[in-house]
Amino acid sequence: MQQLTLTRPDDWHLHLRDGALLKTTVAASAQVFNRAVVMPNLVPPVTKVEMALAYRQRILAAIPDGLSFQPLMALYLTAETTVEEIKAAAENPHVIGFKLYPSGATTNSAAGVKSVEALAPVLEAMQHEQVPLLVHGEVTDHDIDIFDREKVFIDRHLVPITTRFPQLKLVLEHITTGDAVDFVMAANDNVAATMTPQHLLMNRNDLLVGGVRPHNYCLPILKRREHQQRLQQAALSGNAKFFLGTDSAPHVQANKETACGCAGCYSAPAALELYAEFFSQHDALDKLENFASVFGAAFYGFERNQEKVTLVRDEWQLPATLDTADGAIVPYYAGEKLQWQIKK
């Protein structure tokens, strides 16, 4: 196969940041994706509908001429989130749901949730109003090994949540383990998961062997090869519960290459090509369209996009760095060759 045309995809988990950097990040995603769920972990966090709408306007202002792009805003769930705010979110078509960050789990998550159990009233309201819950699924206890934090979160919190609130639409974001695959597959149809290119293409050897590679560092952290293989099997299975969410997360080079580097892989400049690389490696390009363009929209209740994009088999190399208003960024897969690229 030398060419593949598919329905224009959506990115169901995306970090765009804010300010001058939007000129770079919005353009990178808008050239490929029609819709994107925009994460709210700014400083300060986007906790209310009016804040999300103001952020959305800044994103819309950064879309290059001639491109269409629909930011779907997630709100940051905190201990102060009210039932009234849930209702306001449900009534606004530009707000897609609430993001649960355990406090301290990842970038800009200090304002996150310290007690999942205390969320019962708002989770009840989200279930009633059909407002999705998007979950960064890791515990943050210092005595829990970082490679086990997703599994512990699932056992400790997600199983009870989905048992108590079976009609709550829940997305376990950027899954990294076979335990997450098992949880999602065993759960009812209101539970789904997003998958990133880095967790499909890499495992922890790609982070740690031969020296630490900071631009492959993300949270949840890359796991063992056997967990990577379980994710791959789920993506290749054609199960509609698993779909594209890049978790593309830009950080300038200076903040990644430090003694305490930021977590996040900036995959947006080659997002669809990276997924194509994975499916092509497994002789399963026929599964890419559903994964990238169909399953996520169906789960969230959107119509399938009408536009098409075409990938051609034509080897190219990602640049070592990208210039932005905030400084140089090293993209995910920098300097590596990909076999597919989007036809202009």
**Residue positions in the annotated binding site?**
13, 15-17, 41, 99, 136, 174, 219, 247, 251, 263
Q: In angstroms, what CA-CA distances link 44 with 18, 86, 107, 109, 327?
A: 11, 19, 12, 10, 22
Answer yes or no: are the C-beta atoms of 13 and 267 closer than 8 Å. Answer: no
Answer yes or no: are the C-beta atoms of 250 and 14 closer than 8 Å. Answer: no
Answer yes or no: are the C-beta atoms of 195 and 202 closer than 8 Å. Answer: no
Binding residues for substrate, as ranges, are 15-17, 41, 136, 219, 251, 263
Which neighbouring-strand residues pair with 329?
A: 322
What do you get for the CA distance between the two ends of the chain, in Å? 18
CA-based nearest residue to 186, from 233, 154, 157: 154
* Sequence-distant (≥ 6) Cβ neighbours of residue 222 within 8 angstroms: 176, 198, 199, 202, 203, 204, 206, 207, 216, 228
Which neighbouring-strand residues pair with 191?
A: 170
**Active-site residue 247, yes or no?**
yes
- Catalytic residue chosen out of the listed positions 10, 11, 179, 247: 247
Answer yes or no: are the C-beta atoms of 267 and 196 closer than 8 Å. Answer: yes
Binding residues for Zn(2+), as ranges, are 13, 15, 99, 136, 174, 247
The stretches of the chain forming alpha helices (DSSP H) are 22-30, 49-61, 83-91, 120-129, 149-153, 159-164, 178-186, 197-201, 205-208, 225-236, 253-256, 271-281, 288-289, 295-300
Exposure string over 14-25, b if 16+ CB within 10 A, otherwise e: bbbbeeebbebb
- CA 233 to chain centroid, in Å, comes to 19
Burial of 234 (0-12, 13-18, 19+ CB in 10 A): buried
Looking at the annotation, which residues are catalytic? 247
